[in-house]
């Protein structure tokens, strides 16, 4: 896809985040959206090679809408300044819909490529199931944390929004209590596409997903 054109479009959208500008530039958006869909469509068969469970993921449904949900937000900008997609075994993108662990990526207006794997801010019942799975399969969780590829690519799990105390009902002395305090079980990495655009962007993203697979696979066992 024309990555530089996408970054330029998103940058301009950030400066002109209103319906009039978007309507005037809709032809540009439509072309870039079609290219992004083609990128995701080509990635799914590559992901299936190491994670067959995503074979049924519909690429059209994997893409997020550019329109923002402004109902509960003070920011009334109508459009997101990212192109993003989430590839899941369930075919559902959002944690609130029961999407489960996902492979996620986006390109933003600053030209930053974010590649991630896991579950970001799952709903309370799902989060409790994951925390209980950490206790029930402490050895398996340790193995994920020590996975060489995952650590080389991502480091540790992101601790954004981590609780200061153990959640209610969890003994502070159980193994991995610091991870049980997490509200998300996800890894991610960022790189600048302004500095360097990979010759094969899809291949680069899929490589990151492959390194996140041990976490995604482990999370699927949490019921």
What does the pLDDT read at residue 96? 61
| Count of beta carbons in the 10 Å neighbourhood of residue 156 | 10
| Count of beta carbons in the 10 Å neighbourhood of residue 44 | 21
The backbone region for 20, taken as left when phi is positive above 0, alpha when psi lies in -120 to 50, beta otherwise, is alpha
Give phi and psi for 102, each to the nearest 5: -135, 155
What does the pLDDT read at residue 99? 76
Give phi and psi for 95, each to the nearest 5: -55, -35
Kindly state the tokens that stand for 141. 């969780």
Give tens-digit pLDDT for 47-84: 999 999 999 999 999 999 999 987 777 888 999 999 99
Give tens-digit pLDDT for 104-127: 999 999 999 999 999 999 999 999
Low-confidence ranges of the chain (pLDDT < 50): none
What does the pLDDT read at residue 98? 67
What does the pLDDT read at residue 179? 98
What does the pLDDT read at residue 25? 98
């Amino acid at each position: 896809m024309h990555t530089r054109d996408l970054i330029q479009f998103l940058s301009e959208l950030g400066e002109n985040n209103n319906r009039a500008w978007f309507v005037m530039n809709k032809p540009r958006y439509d072309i870039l959206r079609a290219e992004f869909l083609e990128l995701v469509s080509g990635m799914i068969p590559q992901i299936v090679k190491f994670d067959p469970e995503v074979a049924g993921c519909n690429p059209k449904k994997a893409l997020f809408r550019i329109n923002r949900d402004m109902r509960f937000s003070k920011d009334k900008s109508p459009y997101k300044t990212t192109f993003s997609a989430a590839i899941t075994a369930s075919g559902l993108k959002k944690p609130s819909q029961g999407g489960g662990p996902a492979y996620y990526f986006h390109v933003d207006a600053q030209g930053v490529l974010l590649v991630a794997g896991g579950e970001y801010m799952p709903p309370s019942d799902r989060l409790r199931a994951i925390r209980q799975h950490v206790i029930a399969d402490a050895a398996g969780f340790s193995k994920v944390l020590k996975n060489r590829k995952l650590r080389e690519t991502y480091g540790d799990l992101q601790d954004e929004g981590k609780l200061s105390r153990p959640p209610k009902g969890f003994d502070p002395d159980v193994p991995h209590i610091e991870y049980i305090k997490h509200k998300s079980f996800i890894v991610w990495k960022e790189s600048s596409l302004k500095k360097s655009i990979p010759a094969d962007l899809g291949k680069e993203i899929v490589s990151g997903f492959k390194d996140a697979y041990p976490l995604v696979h482990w999370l699927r066992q949490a019921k």
